Amino acid sequence: MASIRQNEYPDLLPDFRNLGVVARILVGVNALLLVGSFVATPTLALGVERFTQAAAYAEPLLLCVLVALYALSIVLGRLPYLWGCAGVLLVAAALATALRAGWAALGGEAPAGLGRLLAFTIPTAALLLAYLRLLARAYSPALAEARLQALQARIRPHFLFNSLNAVLAVIRRDPRQAERVIEDLADLFRTLMADARRFVRLADEIALLERYAEIEQLRLGERLRIAWELDAAPLDALLPPLVLQPLLENAVYHGVEPSLGSAEVLVRIERRGARVLARIENPWVEEQQRRSGNRVAIANIRERLALFFDAEARMEASVKDGRYCVEIDLPYRTDASMALPARPAAAGERKEGDASRTEAA
């Protein structure tokens, strides 16, 4: 993309289903309790005792609030930011009131008066919302978008030049095939121009992989064999754009091009419960690995996954039995679970029955 847009982006509530958000809330609340317990406390033993007593009352309330926010996350996310914040504060205050009433009904000793309890609960919730807002702004929009756009534009110039040379090689022999390759190139670079901050469907990412594979197949011929294992791929899953294509490009660049004979690249995508697993393998010969770029691409993709999914995404690379393998583990998210507006299927979009291919070219 030629330039980074400088639009104002609205504030959004954090996703209270995200493990990173939940962990920050847990740590934040307990840190406040710890500081409050040791303020003006003459001895360490007394401070520990005060913290233990405060945590015994605060933890049940905190867990109830987290469960409620998890259940209401999609509903709250659809509200304007300020209304969503008000909803979070209302949920925290209502649960604090209900739990204190429950303690009283069971004959237990309440930790504090209702006013004092609300005076701790509401400011704490507001402080955590402010912290999460600042954290989100630290990653977006300008800084995160610049980083996302930088990664999204990382299709190597050699790929473009080699693809154009491949087109020139067949344009007289097979004009129709050359035309199809040029169309695939146009689709590939149209994806580069897309909004890097938006999720894409896995079906679109797979279609992009196939277009890229067809271009490389034209250039490398029988040297490149790609095994597609996509029967269990959840085509409606959402993921950041151009996460898988650079990995397939790396597999071709580092695993196929240096080899003297035919080389097989494996692309496997499947759903396991609430997770989406993607695996890309390519041959690995140590003495042939003199090219740079693998670690840079992997580090950038790992950073982009963290921007989109926080602590819920995982990416690992390993070498075993002469094969270099990259695995990505993502949460299974759809338009409905992300509260995103639905859009009509794009022309040529894959259907469920078309997800399986045994081998390309």
For the chain, domains (ranges, CATH) are 19-139 (no CATH), 151-360 (3.30.565.10)
Q: Across all residues in the chain, what is the average pLDDT?
A: 77
Task: Give the per-residue pLDDT at 195.
Answer: 57
Q: Give which of 120, 135, 99 is closest to 15, Cα–Cα.
A: 135
Separation of alpha carbons 106 and 228, rounded Å: 61
Residue 63 confidence (pLDDT) above 50: yes
The amino acid at residue 190 is R
pTM of the model: 0.62
Token reading at 196? 């890097």
Task: Give the per-residue pLDDT at 361.
Answer: 37
Task: Give the per-residue pLDDT at 231.
Answer: 92
Longest Cα separation, the chain: 90
Task: Give the per-residue pLDDT at 337.
Answer: 62
What percent of the chain clears pLDDT 70, i.e. is strictly above it? 75
Task: Give the per-residue pLDDT at 359.
Answer: 39
Write out pLDDT tens, residues 309-339.
878 889 998 988 889 999 999 999 887 665 4
Residue 273 confidence (pLDDT) above 80: yes
The SS3 assignment for 170 reads helix
242: left (phi over 0), alpha (psi -120 to 50) or beta: left
